[in-house]
Amino acid sequence: MTPNDGARPREVRWGLVDVVAGIAAFAVLSAVARVLVRLPGVGGEPALVLGIEQVIGGWLPLVAVVLVATHRRGRRSLRLDFGLRLRPVDLVVGLGVGVGLRLAALGLAELVRQATGTRATAFSGGVGDPVLFVLFAVLAASVVSPVVEELYFRGLVLRSIERAVAPAGSTDARRRRAATIAVLGSALLFTAFHLDGVPETAAAASRLLTLFVVGIVLGLMAVATKRLGPSIVAHGAFNLTVAVLEIVTPPAVTG
């Protein structure tokens, strides 16, 4: 018998306040990261710049908010609060969806290229420094980022919107409406977090549209399965295909 046997379940109090806290923390720490990368001796080190931007300006605020939400305002379990669990079938489904999303993104990019006469893809070709490539293009982008972002966007954000729109005891119709709003809302915020200024080209705009569609698909997976395993794998596969494309694309010729 454990100390918690027979204890009353912890009340879940996390919600939109925590989502806003995540947005604020992201904005503040992103600004801090921008200052740090301009310090003498830092700007000339690409690996250090990428690390600061990724960890301080990206992962840290999202992870911190999710952990505080579950520990202070939830059930102290990422599985119970936000559905962080993986089943074997998630690997197959997630891989298929992730690759399918990348193919759709490439198709959209090609349509933009043909319509505007401009280059719509940004694959330079080659891997450069193999160590940095593995660290940032594979491990960071395809393993760590999907877990962190899915915990925040499809875990905290999506579920907070659902709970706000359809509190406990709501009708089935209201819960379905809440799920729709939550999927769209989390996808919009997901896209906004990846916004790097106002898009000035058709290719940049198509990238944002792609991210929004990806956010919707990942949100639907989270709602349908009630867990984050499928969306994490799909997100990771979607990002990993960029590394694969960089490997198979001939290096750009300059000069």
Contact in structure between 59 and 147 (CB atoms under 8 Å): no
For residue 38, give the DSSP letter.
T
Sequence-ordered list of residues with C-beta below 8 angstroms from that of 232, at least 6 positions apart, any chain: 86, 90, 94, 146, 147, 150
Q: What is the pLDDT of residue 223?
A: 98
Closest to 205 (Cα-Cα) out of 219, 184, 191:
191
Q: How are the residues of the chain apportioned to helix, strand and coil, as percentages rounded to the nearest 5? A: 75, 0, 25
Do the Cβ atoms of 242 and 106 come closer than 8 Å?
no
One digit per residue, pLDDT tens: the chain, 255 residues? Answer: 344 545 566 889 999 999 999 999 999 999 999 999 999 888 778 888 889 999 999 999 999 999 999 999 999 999 999 999 999 999 999 999 999 999 999 998 888 888 887 765 555 555 667 777 788 888 999 999 999 999 999 999 999 999 999 998 899 999 999 999 999 999 999 999 998 877 778 888 888 999 999 999 999 999 999 999 999 999 999 999 988 887 776 555 544
DSSP annotation of 249 reads S
Quick check: 229 and 87 in contact, CB under 8 A? yes
Please name which of 241, 249, 248 lies closest in space to residue 101, comparing C-alpha atoms: 241
Rounded to two decimals, the pTM is 0.90
pLDDT score for 13? 95
CA distance 47 to 109: 29
Would you state the pLDDT for residue 138?
Answer: 86
